[in-house]
């Protein structure tokens, strides 16, 4: 039974919103008559309905949620009815001939519909290699999403049993052997990853499973192989990839398996915390709710001792807070980072800038305003006890450099807010 409620818009990056279209909603609910009527009104909607980019987005916001577990099946039923309606009297199918075979097979495979997959492959065995924007790796990926081993085996068998005509037996055997290895390699990676995370970047299957958020696959790999600290071509560990993608459950599994891995950095000196912050500004559509929840859990200290890495700098001398301000991510994230005990706001990057220097250099924004308000609030609280410290040279005076002479005084976390406010005014 299709779900009764769908969210129709999601925040993707920053203040940008991505909307589901009526035909997306109709197909996800299995309303074929409505899909058919919409296509009669505007045939171009079929391009939108079959767009791989849109389907990937919908998978991340609908299909991957437990309460929407029937979405793929509903979408497959709609595709099957469209296929039947496009049958011609001569036995041809206008939908497949128009180039939508790749979409049909992807939809059938992702739903785990063995009968529909067989029907499509009987019509055209070469559909397994995709069509248009859909490639063979996408078909493997869809079959893996369905968690139906029969569908995955069916697709893989059709791919590796391809024969070559017009060549000698020796050439055919050599080409087939290389071709089979390539197909198996793609199938293994597709079973654990999004298409964007390729082994061409030096990724292992653990990297790709972590980037996809497949917790059970990650657990099985860790129990069978000692690969938790392996890196890709950029020096990223599986933990860094998982943090960048916002997969909290995978991050927890990896850290529990290897408590030392949070201290590892990539070739650019970034820790997994740097990359968790960078994940807010990755190109394309993202589930920011997952990324925010990951940051909350990290900063609350429920996953790792955040105080051990909050002040770590990368190759540019920047902490995670530097990156959050430079990337102009949500002010809430900057505030989360500011709340970490023992955070050092005086660290300067390779250009000599503290986080507050960077904040002053930028035009007014939500993050800068909330930081200023936060600092002013902290200053007012301290004013109540000012008389107890009136002899300290750290309080504001006519000399804008007084705070620098008393820097050691503020290494005590209890006085950090005083120092932060005064440094903002003086720099």
Alpha-carbon torsion (89, 90, 95, 101), positive or negative = positive
**141 and 212 Cβ atoms separated by less than 8 Å:** no
The Cα–Cα gap between 336 and 114 comes to 47
Q: Mapping DSSP to helix (H, G, I), strand (E, B) and coil, where does residue 123 land?
A: helix
pLDDT of residue 291: 86
Cβ-in-10-Å burial (0-12, 13-18, 19+) of 86 comes to: middle
What distance in Å separates the CA atoms of residue 180 and residue 161, rounded to the nearest whole number? 8
Any idea what the Cα angle at residue 116 is, between residues 138 and 62, rounded to 5°? Answer: 55
- CA neighbor of 107 nearest in space, from 135, 132, 86, 77: 77
| Structural domains in the chain plus CATH codes | 9-190 (no CATH), 196-305 (1.25.40.20)
| 306 contacts 299 by C-beta, under 8 angstroms | yes
Write the CB contacts of 370 (distance below 8 Å, at least 6 apart in sequence): 331, 334, 335
By residue count, the chain amounts to 427
* Tens-digit pLDDT profile for residues 293-313: 899 899 888 889 988 999 999
* pLDDT tens-digit readout, 22-74: 898 889 888 999 999 999 999 889 988 998 888 888 887 776 666 666 888 89
Rounded to an integer, what distance in angstroms lies between the CA atom of residue 218 and that of residue 242?
11
Q: How many CB atoms lie within 10 A of CB 40?
A: 9
Confidence (pLDDT) at 313? 95
The burial class, CB within 10 Å (0-12 / 13-18 / 19+), for 357 is middle
Helix or strand holding residue 240 (H, E): helix 238-245
Task: State whether residue 19 is helix, strand or coil.
Answer: strand
Q: Write out pLDDT tens, residues 200-226.
A: 467 787 888 888 787 887 888 888 888
pLDDT at 270: 94
Is 95 within 8 Å of 49 (Cβ atoms)?
no
pLDDT of residue 343: 84
What whole-number distance in Å separates Cα of residue 187 and Cα of residue 199? 12
User: What gap in Å lies between CA 181 and CA 160, rounded to an integer?
Assistant: 8
Alpha-carbon gap, residue 241 to 271, rounded angstroms: 11
Instruction: Compute, in degrees rounded to 10, the torsion defined by CA atoms 149, 150, 155, 159.
Output: 90
Low-confidence ranges of the chain (pLDDT < 50): 11, 13-14, 163-168, 170-172, 174-175, 194-200, 378-427
Tokens found for residue 128: 């397994």
């Amino acid at each position: 039974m299709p779900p009764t409620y769908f969210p129709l818009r999601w925040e993707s990056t920053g203040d940008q919103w991505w909307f589901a279209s009526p035909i997306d909603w109709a197909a996800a609910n299995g309303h074929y008559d409505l899909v058919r009527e919409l296509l009669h009104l505007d045939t171009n909607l079929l391009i939108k309905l079959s767009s791989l980019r849109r389907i990937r987005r919908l998978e991340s916001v609908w299909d991957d949620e437990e309460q929407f577990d029937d979405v793929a099946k509903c979408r497959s039923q709609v595709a099957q009815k469209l296929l039947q309606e496009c049958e011609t009297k001569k036995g041809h199918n206008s939908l497949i001939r128009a180039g939508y075979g790749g979409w049909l097979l992807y939809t059938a495979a992702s739903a785990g519909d063995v009968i529909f997959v067989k029907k499509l492959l009987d019509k055209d065995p070469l559909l397994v290699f995709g069509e248009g924007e859909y490639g063979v790796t996408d078909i493997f990926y869809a079959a893996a999403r369905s968690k139906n081993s029969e569908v995955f085996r069916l697709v893989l068998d059709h791919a590796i049993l391809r024969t070559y005509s017009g060549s000698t037996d020796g050439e055919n055997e050599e080409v087939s052997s290389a071709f089979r290895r390539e197909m198996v390699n793609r199938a293994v990676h597709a079973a654990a990853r999004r298409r964007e995370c390729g082994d061409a970047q030096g990724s292992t299957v653990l990297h790709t499973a972590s980037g996809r958020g497949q917790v059970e696959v990650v657990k099985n790999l860790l129990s069978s192989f000692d690969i938790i600290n392996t890196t890709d071509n950029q020096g990223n560990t599986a933990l860094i990839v998982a943090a960048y993608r916002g997969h909290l459950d995978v991050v927890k599994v990896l850290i529990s398996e290897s408590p030392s891995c949070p201290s590892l950095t990539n070739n650019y000196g970034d820790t997994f915390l740097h990359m968790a912050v960078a994940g807010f500004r990755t190109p394309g559509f993202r589930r920011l709710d997952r990324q925010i929840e990951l940051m909350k859990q990290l900063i609350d200290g429920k996953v790792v001792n955040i105080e051990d890495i909050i002040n770590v700098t990368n190759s540019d001398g920047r902490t995670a807070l530097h990156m959050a301000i430079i990337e102009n991510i949500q002010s809430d994230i900057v505030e989360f980072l500011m709340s970490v005990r023992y955070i050092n706001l005086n660290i300067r990057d390779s250009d000599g800038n503290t986080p507050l220097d960077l904040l002053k250099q930028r035009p007014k924004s939500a993050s800068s305003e909330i930081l200023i308000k936060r600092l002013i609030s902290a200053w007012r609280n301290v004013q109540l006890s000012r008389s107890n410290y009136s002899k300290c040279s750290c309080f504001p005076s006519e000399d804008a450099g007084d705070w620098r002479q008393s820097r050691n005084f503020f290494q005590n976390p209890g006085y950090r807010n005083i120092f932060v406010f005064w440094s903002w005014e003086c720099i």
